[in-house]
Each structure stands twice: as structure tokens, then as C-alpha cells.
């Protein structure tokens, strides 16, 4: 590229390419301080759900937590045995002792019903069947052992055990009773116990699903929060890099030039030191802007506005003071009837130009650069080109691409954060270095 020649290009042939459009979380790219949306996860609902489940578990523990289940089931077994023995005694037929033993044995397995629901049901059902055959009238009106056993198997048993039990109960109640009223009552007791146990089983299953869902939501919320923190740290790192790299590069160049001319050209030396001071003050203002978002919530930091494209003139002027002639062209930014450029797009364009000029000052060896920012109907186009070393065949001279690596990555990240793209590489005819970005203005 000649000293004064400039030909806008959209990107060098064979140069770097990035995806045309990347999906980006706009709430994170526009600034810090806002609570992330967590990818659609309702963090407050997850927290509330976990608190409700903890409260329910606490109430259940308060009601039953102090009672050993074996003690409770043993008391139920004693009550069932007493009811069965009392029914035999009240039958007034003078049943022998072994009938009493048979009636009481129906409750022997109840203390182990939770651990072995199927086995406990069979251990109660066999003596109950024998009692029904040899002393049908001596059975209690409400068979407590049967109600407990059916409920337990319906609640805790395996599916094949539950449905097999239900089928056997229905057939036995229909064929084993001596009257229609007795059949209906037996069906009501057995099927009702089965239904009640099934309802408790389903409630427990739903509660487990809610606990798992709450745990999963909590994990997702924590993951999204960690990802949001990482993205925000990356955003702040890019801001810090752009501010400090630009300011320090200009300060170093001016500081090196000042002592050389302090005797031969005092006015130029004074201007160099003034430029150092101006760069330092500008860097401090921008650092306060970035670091202000890290203050604790509620402290009310007063933040300066995001950088504007109108401020590029000051950036260009500081680069000129560093000895590089820069031409700035701003096209179509303030036409009547246009809506305002989004703040994140304007800030990204400012930083891209700033970083490109920083690389030009630090690495290119150029004495001339052109900055063009043009607004089209759908996008903001940014191009920065210089006449420096660019990307050459000599690796030691390819400073623009290698030494400025972090800055070029930051340029591409900033463009992607706005849903756009950035291309960096050789300028026209392979001379100099070009940074070209296209930032969509949104709907």
C-alpha cells in the first residue's frame, strides 16, 4: 500500500475468517452488574422449591422422626393380634387354643413389613386363609393385618407383586365370601387399602421427582452463574487490555521521544510530555469506568458513559502525537431520521479502532494509517489499515500478527459479542495490515 493510497476492502483473500454470526448473550456483553438470566433457569423458583422440600422433610421428621419404625410396626402387630384374638373369643363357639394361635399368627410378620413387603404379606395371608377355612366366623370384621399388609405391598412392593396381589384379592373376595354384602365389604376393604397404598406410593414418587428437579435446577443455576462470571471476567479483561495497551503504548513512545528533543526542540518535548499526561488521565478515567462495576451492589457508583464514536478524534490525535499520520473518516453516523446506534455496538467499534491503532503504534512500523467508520442500513462497518510491515514472509517481521495476538483476539471477540464478525490480515495487495469489522445494528 502506498503512502497515500487507500482502497476500502471487506476482507483480504485468504485472510482470517470468523463465523458470519454468533449467538451471544446480549445482557452480558453490554455490561456488568446485572444478574444473569441463567439460560432460562428460574433461580428464585429453584431456591423456593428447595426450601419447601426442606420444610416438608422437617415436618415429617418432627412427626415421625422420633419413633423407631420397628417399634411402631411392633405396636401395630400387637394391636392386630389383639383384634384377631378378641374376634375368636367373641365368636362364642369355644374354639380350641390352636385357633387362637392361628388368629394371632396373622400379625407375626408385621414388624418386618417395610423391609420385606411381599414376604410379610404372604406370612400373614397363609394363616389368614387357614383361619378362613377352619373358623370363618371367628375372623374379625375388620382384618387389621390384611389392611396393613395390602397397604404396605401396594406402597413398597414391586409392580408385579402389587398387581398379582390385587388380582388374587379380587378373586378370593368374590369366591371366598358367603354373602353379597360380605363380598362387597371385603372388596371395599382390600381394594381401598390397595388404592390408598398406591396413592402414597405416587405421592412419594412425585416428591422424589421434585427433589431431583430442584437439585438439577440448582446445579444448572450454579453452572450458568459460573459461566456468567467467566464471561464477565473476560469482558473486563478485554476492557482493561484495550485501555492499558493503548495508553501505555502511546506513553512509552512519547517518553522515548521526549529526551531526544528536549534540548534541540523544547516545544516538541513539552508537547510529548503533555501527550503522556493526557494519555494517563484518559486511561485513569476509563479504568474507573470499568472498575466501577466491581463495587458492591447498592453502593451506587457513578459510572461514566460508554465510549462514543465521536471520541475517536481524541484517540486519533494521540496517535498522531506519537508520530503516525492518521486519517479519520466517519460516514453516515448522524443522518436525519436515523435511530441511535446501540450502545454496545458503538462501544465495540470504538474499542476495535483503539486496539487496531495500538497495534499499529506498537508493532507495525507504519507512518500512515486510515480509519474508516461507516454506517449502512443494517450494520456499522469499521476498517483500520496502515502501511507498515504487515504480515511478511519473514517471521521476525510479522509483528502485526504475532505480537498483537491478544489484541486481535479481543477484536474478534468484541465483534462476535455484537453478533458481527471481524477479519484481520494483510492489506490491499498484501501490503500493510488491515482490520475490518462488521457490526449489525439490530432490528
**CA nearest neighbour of 294 among 374, 225, 360, 237:** 237
Q: What local confidence, expressed as pLDDT, does residue 435 receive?
A: 92
Q: Which of 50-59, 158-167, 218-227, 393-402 has the lowest mean pLDDT?
A: 393-402
Q: What local confidence, expressed as pLDDT, does residue 288 receive?
A: 72
Q: Which of 75-79, 237-241, 322-326, 378-382 has the lowest mean pLDDT?
A: 237-241
The average pLDDT across 26-42 equals: 42
**430 conformational bin, left if phi > 0, alpha if psi -120 to 50, beta if neither:** left
Q: What local confidence, expressed as pLDDT, does residue 301 receive?
A: 44
Most confident of 57-61, 253-257, 260-264, 407-411: 407-411
Assess whether pLDDT exceeds 90 at residue 199. yes
The average pLDDT across 246-260 equals: 70
Confidence band, pLDDT 50/70/90 cuts, at residue 343: confident
pTM for the full predicted model: 0.45
3-state DSSP helix/strand/coil % of the chain, to nearest 5: 65, 10, 30
Distance CA 260, CA 264 (A): 8
Phi and psi at residue 113, to the nearest 5°: -65, -35
Assess whether pLDDT exceeds 50 at residue 401. no
Count helices and strands in the chain by DSSP H and E runs: 13, 5
Q: What local confidence, expressed as pLDDT, does residue 59 receive?
A: 67
Q: What angle in degrees, to the nearest 10, is found between the helix axes of 69-90 and 144-156?
A: 150
Q: What local confidence, expressed as pLDDT, does residue 383 receive?
A: 92
- What kind and span of H or E run contains 379? strand 379-386
Residue in the structure block whose three cell numbers are 387357614: 130
Cα distances (angstroms) measured from residue 385 to each of 16, 324, 332, 434: 15, 12, 20, 4
Judge whether 398 and 392 are in contact, CB under 8 Å: yes
Mean pLDDT, the chain, rounded, equals 76
Distance CA 419, CA 442 (A): 9
CB-side neighbour CA atoms (13 Å) of 243: 21
Name the residue ranges covered by the structural domains of the chain.
1-31+324-443, 43-218
Distance CA 194, CA 217 (A): 34
What share of the chain has pLDDT > 90, as a percent? 7
Q: What local confidence, expressed as pLDDT, does residue 195 receive?
A: 92
- CATH classification of 1-31+324-443, choosing from 3.30.565.10, 3.20.20.150, 2.60.40.10, 3.90.1150.10? 3.30.565.10
Distance CA 123, CA 117 (A): 10
Most confident of 143-147, 234-238, 271-275: 143-147
Measured between its terminal Cα atoms, the distance across the chain in Å is: 37
What share of the chain has pLDDT > 70, as a percent? 73
SS3 state of residue 23: coil
Q: Taking every pair of C-alpha atoms in the chain, what is the biggest distance, in angstroms?
A: 135
Question: Where is pLDDT greater, at 50 or 68?
Answer: 68
Assess whether pLDDT exceeds 90 at residue 431. no
Whats the size of the chain, residue-wise? 443
The average pLDDT across 325-338 equals: 82
Amino acid at each position: 500500500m502506498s503512502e497515500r493510497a487507500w482502497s476500502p476492502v471487506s476482507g483480504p483473500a485468504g485472510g482470517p475468517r470468523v463465523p458470519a454470526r454468533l449467538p451471544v448473550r446480549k445482557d452480558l456483553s453490554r455490561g456488568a452488574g446485572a444478574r444473569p438470566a441463567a439460560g432460562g433457569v428460574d433461580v428464585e423458583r429453584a431456591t423456593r422449591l428447595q426450601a419447601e422440600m426442606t420444610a416438608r422433610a422437617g415436618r415429617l421428621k418432627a412427626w415421625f422422626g422420633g419413633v423407631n419404625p420397628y417399634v411402631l410396626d411392633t405396636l401395630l402387630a400387637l394391636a392386630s393380634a389383639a383384634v384377631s384374638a378378641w374376634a375368636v373369643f367373641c365368636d362364642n363357639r369355644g374354639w380350641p387354643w390352636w385357633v387362637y394361635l392361628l388368629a394371632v399368627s396373622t400379625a407375626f410378620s408385621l414388624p418386618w413389613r417395610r423391609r420385606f413387603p411381599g414376604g410379610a404379606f404372604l406370612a400373614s395371608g397363609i394363616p389368614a386363609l387357614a383361619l378362613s377355612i377352619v373358623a370363618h366366623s371367628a375372623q374379625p370384621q375388620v382384618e387389621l393385618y390384611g389392611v396393613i399388609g395390602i397397604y404396605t405391598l401396594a406402597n413398597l412392593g414391586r409392580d408385579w407383586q402389587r398387581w398379582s396381589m390385587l388380582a388374587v384379592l379380587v378373586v378370593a373376595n368374590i369366591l371366598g365370601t358367603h354373602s353379597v354384602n360380605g363380598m362387597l365389604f371385603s372388596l371395599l376393604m382390600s381394594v381401598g387399602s390397595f388404592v390408598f397404598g398406591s396413592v402414597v406410593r405416587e405421592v412419594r414418587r412425585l416428591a422424589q421427582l421434585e427433589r431431583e428437579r430442584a437439585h438439577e435446577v440448582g446445579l444448572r443455576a450454579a453452572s450458568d452463574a459460573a459461566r456468567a462470571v467467566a464471561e464477565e471476567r473476560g469482558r473486563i479483561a478485554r476492557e482493561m487490555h484495550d485501555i492499558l495497551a493503548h495508553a501505555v503504548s502511546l506513553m512509552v513512545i512519547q517518553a522515548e521521544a521526549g529526551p531526544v528533543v528536549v534540548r534541540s526542540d523544547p516545544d516538541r518535548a513539552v508537547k510529548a510530555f503533555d501527550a503522556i499526561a493526557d494519555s494517563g488521565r484518559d486511561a485513569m478515567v476509563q479504568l474507573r469506568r470499568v472498575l466501577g462495576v466491581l463495587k458492591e451492589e447498592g453502593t451506587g457508583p457513578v459510572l461514566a458513559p460508554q465510549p462514543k464514536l465521536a471520541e475517536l478524534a481524541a484517540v486519533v490525535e494521540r496517535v498522531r502525537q506519537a508520530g503516525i499520520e492518521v486519517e479519520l473518516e466517519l460516514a453516515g453516523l448522524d443522518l436525519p431520521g436515523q435511530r441511535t446506534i446501540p450502545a454496545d455496538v458503538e462501544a465495540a467499534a470504538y474499542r476495535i479502532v483503539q486496539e487496531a491503532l495500538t497495534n499499529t503504534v506498537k508493532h507495525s512500523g507504519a507512518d500512515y494509517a486510515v480509519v474508516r467508520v461507516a454506517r449502512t442500513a443494517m450494520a456499522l462497518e469499521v476498517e483500520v489499515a496502515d502501511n507498515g510491515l504487515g504480515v511478511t514472509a519473514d517471521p521476525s517481521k510479522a509483528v502485526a500478527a504475532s505480537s498483537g495476538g491478544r489484541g486481535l483476539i479481543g477484536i474478534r471477540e468484541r465483534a462476535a459479542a455484537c453478533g458481527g464478525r471481524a477479519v484481520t490480515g494483510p492489506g490491499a495487495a498484501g501490503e500493510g495490515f488491515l482490520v475490518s469489522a462488521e457490526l449489525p445494528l439490530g432490528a
